[in-house]
Structure 1
Amino acid sequence: MYFVTGGSFNGKSKWVKVHFNLNSTDTTWISLFNRERIHLEDIDFSKSVIVIEGLEYGIRSSILNNDPEIRKSLTTLMQFLKQWEEEEPDRKVIWIGSEIGKGIVPMDKLSREWRDMTGWVYQDLAEMSQKVWLVWYGLATSLKR
């Protein structure tokens, strides 16, 4: 599994497409910008690459819907996708999530919960991923090899 993070609108998706040489015929691209969860039936497992972007918005939507099991549900999904990826050498699972905190503590409770949960989920994802990159202004820095 791979994890790409960095600032909003800093070129993460473009970098992923170029770095992994992705095309639409072999890639399932799932956006969480306008949805809460990923359902397994939404994933085309016949393709060798799964990209999930907007993870921070999926987390935010779950918080807004009072989901008490956000982290557990995402960890279970990550573990499932990691196992799927490891079954075949050509398979890849790539997660893209924007950095939303940078150490700034928001004033309102919802924003604090969102920042905290996103940080915890990103820690889980970074631990499970074999490689992690930070992308700023279209330039990637490897954080984990």
Structure 2
Amino acid sequence: MHFVTGGAFHGKAKWVMKTYSASRNMEGWFNLYEAECPETDQFETSLVVLEGMEQLVKKVVQENKKGTREVLQKKLQSWLEWESDVRGRRLVLIGTDIGKGIVPMEEENRRWRDVSGWFFQDTAMAAERVNIVWYGLEQTIK
């Protein structure tokens, strides 16, 4: 699994497209800003890109008052199992870092920010490769 994070509109998706010779309109690219996060049985290609991980976190926070981290850890585990089941599969997760800046006043938005940070930590620990993209510049951290 490959996790790519960084600021909003900093070039994460563009970098992934270049790195994997992929495009947003390819069959295995899922934009979580526009659609629900698919289950692994909907992955029909060997390269799957999930763009907008923070949107998945937001949905989980809205649907669960407690246990959000556990729900997301189960999702992460299912992705890792899907990737390891067949040689050559690659899952790329793209998530915008929403943890910098002013802490939101609204409780739900604070929970979203906190849970995103925890989920991104869990994702980074589980990933084989982690890259940060800021201002179009990539930095490998794992």
Is the pair's TM-score, using the shorter chain for normalization, greater than 0.5? yes
Structure 1 residue 54, shift from structure 2 partner: 0.6
SS in 2 for 1:19: helix
Q: Which runs of no fewer than 5 residues in structure 2 stay unpaired?
A: none
Structure 1 residue 27, shift from structure 2 partner: 5.0
The residue correspondences of 1:62-73 to structure 2 (distance < 5 A) are: 62-66=60-64, 68-73=66-71
Deviation per CA, 1:13-72: give whole Å up to 9, x if none: 11101012225797511121145543334x23x311111111111211222233534322
Name the CA shift for 1:75/1:68 in 2 (closer, same or farther; >3 Å): same
SS in 2 for 1:51: strand
Among the aligned pairs, what percent are the same residue? Answer: 37
Residue 60 of structure 2 contacts residue 71 of structure 2 at CA under 8 Å; is this kept in 1?
A: no
Partner residue of 2:121 out of 120, 123, 129: 123
- Corresponding residue of 2:141: 143
Structure 2 residue 87 is matched with structure 1 residue 54: no
Structure 1 residue 96, shift from structure 2 partner: 0.4
Residue 40 of structure 2 contacts residue 78 of structure 2 at CA under 8 Å; is this kept in 1?
A: no
Name the CA shift for 1:28/1:108 in 2 (closer, same or farther; >3 Å): same
State which drifts further: 111-120 or 66-75. Answer: 66-75
State which drifts further: 124-133 or 83-92. Answer: 83-92
Structure 1 residue 118, shift from structure 2 partner: 0.2
SS in 2 for 1:106: coil
TM-score, normalised relative to structure 2: 0.86
Residue 34 of structure 1 contacts residue 57 of structure 1 at CA under 8 Å; is this kept in 2?
A: no
- Which AA in structure 1 matches 2:86? E
State which drifts further: 79-88 or 129-138. Answer: 79-88
Residue 2 of structure 1 contacts residue 93 of structure 1 at CA under 8 Å; is this kept in 2?
A: yes
Give the number of aligned pairs: 142
How far apart in 2 are the matches of 1:34 and 1:27?
15
Structure 1 residue 80, shift from structure 2 partner: 1.9
- Corresponding residue of 2:103: 105
How far apart in 1 are the matches of 2:76 and 2:17?
21
Deviation per CA, 1:85-138: give whole Å up to 9, x if none: 223332100000000012642222122101100000001100000110000122
